[in-house]
Amino acid sequence: MEMSLRLRLVILAVLIASLAATIVGAAVVTWRQVRRLRRHLSAVQIESFRVADHLQATVLDLNATLLRFALGRNPGDWQTFADNADQLHAWLVQQHPGTARERRELRQVRAELGAYQAHANAIASTGNLGLTGSSLQVLSSIDNASRRLLNAGYGLASAHRAAAAHLVDSAQRTLTVLQAVIFSALLLLLMLATWGLSTLYRELIAPLQWKLIESRASLERQEKLASLGVLAAGVAHEIRNPLTAIRARLFTLKKALGGERATVVTDVELIERELGRLERLVRDVLLFARPAEPRKEAVSALGLLSEVRDLMRGQLEPSGIELAVQPARDVTVQGDPHQLKQVLLNLIRNAAESIEGHGKITLSVDTKSAALGRYPAAFIEVRDTGKGIPAEVQKRLFDPFYTTKPAGTGLGLSIAARIVEQHGGTLRYQTEVGRGTTFGILLPVAPSADPDCGSKRSPHPRA
């Protein structure tokens, strides 16, 4: 069962809202990621320079203090050196690196600081060095130790910059994914909007345009038929009375002649047949001009089709034409069963006449995409495998007295269309030359019936 237009619009609105929420969420995450990245990059750059500058300044100050102590042996210089070394060690303890490389480089800085302090303690434990060769060797070892400490500090600063670069790469990947999500959501949003507009056009605008064209054509046809009906009713009454008198005189003449003159009797019978044809024409004209008001009741669509099939199958099978009812879920329509049967019989006869040789006529009921305004409706279809209707014939298909049959009156489809219109429905058709034609009677569903399940069910007919 197809979804209703309202349900499809609700689903479309939910999907659009979800995509809009996704786009907004991705944009918010992107904005936060960029702000976090900027803040972190600024902090990392400042921290990298601060680590390098602080280590360099502190180590140079320690070297100068240690050199003064080595030359002058002033206890105050040694105390200053020890305090500065302890402060540097405490500063290193306060550092909390986030990556493994930063932690490794920090441990290396602490180890080099410990080695540097060990060299300083070795100098403090010796006497006054003066400017001897051994003093120069000790000072050279201190300089080497301080250089290693500085290099370790530079390594820590480099680790900070590497962590920042890794963060940039990670953020770049995240931003790329978010960008793809946003573009995909926008594309889906555009596709859904296109689908929604096409659905609105297909389900609302196009049917309204078609109904407007159909209503306009129906109104023009009804105006023509109304004026023609008044004229036809008057002419038919004027013809009917003389026809009745002529038929009565023919009956008397035929009875008086008996079998004496066969030629005359044959002529009388020919006149009688033509009079019968004229009477049928007059009857059709009167039916067309003043159709009887339908006596509407709830009618089982499949039951009606089964009855028509049983009436016509015996006439069509000798000609090699199969008449079948397509099994389907039954539906109850509102209408006059006798008039609807008349319409169906006319359509079946037309379908049979369009089939050359063997063929098939299928009767079916369809409730999908069937509606009369806001009310549920059902299609009762007569589908044949005949030769189809040429384009030039389609233009005048429902015109009164237009026929392509040698003995036709040209009123069959006009009467059928009038009957269907009196039921509040429409008579539609689809045709393809060489493939066949389908006539559909669109009728309102009975008020107590559900078009999806039917209120009156009949057994499925034998196909």
β-pairing verdict for 426-432 and 359-366: unpaired
When divided into structural domains, the chain yields a total of: 2
Give yes or no for a contact between 33 and 163, defined as CB atoms under 8 angstroms apart. Answer: no
Rounded to whole angstroms, the Cα distance separating 113 from 47 reads 20
Query: pTM of the full predicted structure?
Result: 0.46
pLDDT in tens, 401-413: 777 776 666 777 8
- Assess whether pLDDT exceeds 50 at residue 90: yes
pLDDT in tens, 368-420: 766 666 678 888 999 999 989 888 888 777 777 777 776 666 777 888 888 88
Same domain? 191 vs 301: no
Query: What pLDDT, on the 0 to 100 scale, is given for residue 176?
Result: 75
Query: What pLDDT, on the 0 to 100 scale, is given for residue 459?
Result: 36
The reply to whether 116 falls in a domain is yes
Mean pLDDT of 157-176: 73
pLDDT in tens, 184-211: 777 777 787 777 777 777 777 777 777 7
pLDDT in tens, 312-328: 988 898 889 999 999 88
The reply to whether 59 falls in a domain is yes
- Assess whether pLDDT exceeds 90 at residue 438: yes
- Assess whether pLDDT exceeds 60 at residue 49: no
Same domain? 32 vs 159: yes
Q: Helix crossing, 206-257 with 262-289: angle to 10°? A: 150
Range of the domain at 190: 5-195
Query: What pLDDT, on the 0 to 100 scale, is given for residue 237?
Result: 58
The reply to whether 244 falls in a domain is no
For CA atoms 282, 286, 288, 289, give the dihedral sign: positive
- Phi then psi for residue 426, to 5 deg, are -140, 155
- Reduce the DSSP state of residue 260 to 3 states and report it: coil
Same domain? 299 vs 443: yes
Give yes or no for a contact between 335 and 423, defined as CB atoms under 8 angstroms apart. Answer: yes
The reply to whether 340 falls in a domain is yes
Rounded to whole angstroms, the Cα distance separating 462 from 409 reads 34
- Reduce the DSSP state of residue 331 to 3 states and report it: coil
| Residue 462 binned pLDDT confidence (cut-offs 50, 70, 90) | very low
